[in-house]
Chains A and B, each alone.
Chain A
Amino acid sequence: DQQVKQNSPSLSVQEGRISILNCDYTNSMFDYFLWYKKYPAEGPTFLISISSIKDKNEDGRFTVFLNKSAKHLSLHIVPSQPGDSAVYFCAASVYQAGTALIFGKGTTLSVSS
């Protein structure tokens, strides 16, 4: 039973436009959410995170929105660049000793110039 779901396996966007990647979760105990970017045959790179006490966090071109009532979060990339093309993973955790991250299956973003 997947606790973190990324229902869109892929997304194609033109350079300069907005990319919106979505993530849904089922466990209401999750209190910290993260987005990672991953290139093939490399480790994931941390992008941005958000605590459950917030509904928005912004870092440069990247903004994460959290809707707790809908158990939904999204990552907005504006403007999108060809170098943003990668697989994006949503992850979540519950604060307790020893808890690791629960990952979605990822969304492949392709940004065309």
Chain B
Amino acid sequence: DGGITQSPKYLFRKEGQNVTLSCEQNLNHDAMYWYRQDPGQGLRLIYYSQIVNDFQKGDIAEGYSVSREKKESFPLTVTSAQKNPTAFYLCASSTGGESTDTQYFGPGTRLTVL
């Protein structure tokens, strides 16, 4: 059953702690993305990766870090430097490199900072 999985579904963190959100895909997609959604807002791009061992900052990368050591995995670390980390985090993937590239999303992780 192909798709994108994100874990955990809900995550609680104390202020000042780093936390890593998992994203795995078995669609054999080259490109992967992290977005953040806040209430009443659209999705905003945090980081993206077109290929293994390469990634680029999106519009709101400050306070976040990523790695892309494997094609199927793109974990996101929310660091203590992120000023307002409470949000709904969405991971997506796509084949990449096409003019009609369609992104498919995982179920999301709700992060709450206590």
Contact = CB atoms under 8 A, between A and B. Distances in A.
A106 B104 contact: no
Counting chain B CB atoms within 10 Å of each CB, the highest count among A9, A43, A103 belongs to A43
Interface stretch (B42-50, B64-72, B79-87): B42-50
A74 interface: no
Interface residues of A, number: 26
B58 interface: yes
A68 interface: no
A32 B100 contact: yes
A100 B48 contact: yes
Contacts of A97: 50, 97
Q: How many B residues touch the partner, as a band? A: 20 to 34
Nearest to A90: B42
Contacts of B44: 103
B95 to A, nearest CB: 13
B90 interface: yes
B2 interface: no
Please list the 9 inter-chain residue pairs (A to B) with the smallest Cβ-Cβ separation, ordered nearest first.
Answer: A43-B105, A103-B42, A95-B99, A103-B43, A105-B42, A100-B45, A43-B107, A44-B105, A43-B108
Interface of B: 4, 6, 33, 35, 40-45, 48, 50, 56, 58, 88, 90, 92, 97-108, 110
Interface of A: 4, 9, 31-32, 34, 36, 41-46, 49, 51, 89, 91, 93, 95, 97-98, 100-101, 103-106
10 contacts: A32-B99, A41-B110, A42-B107, A43-B4, A46-B104, A46-B105, A89-B43, A95-B101, A100-B48, A106-B42
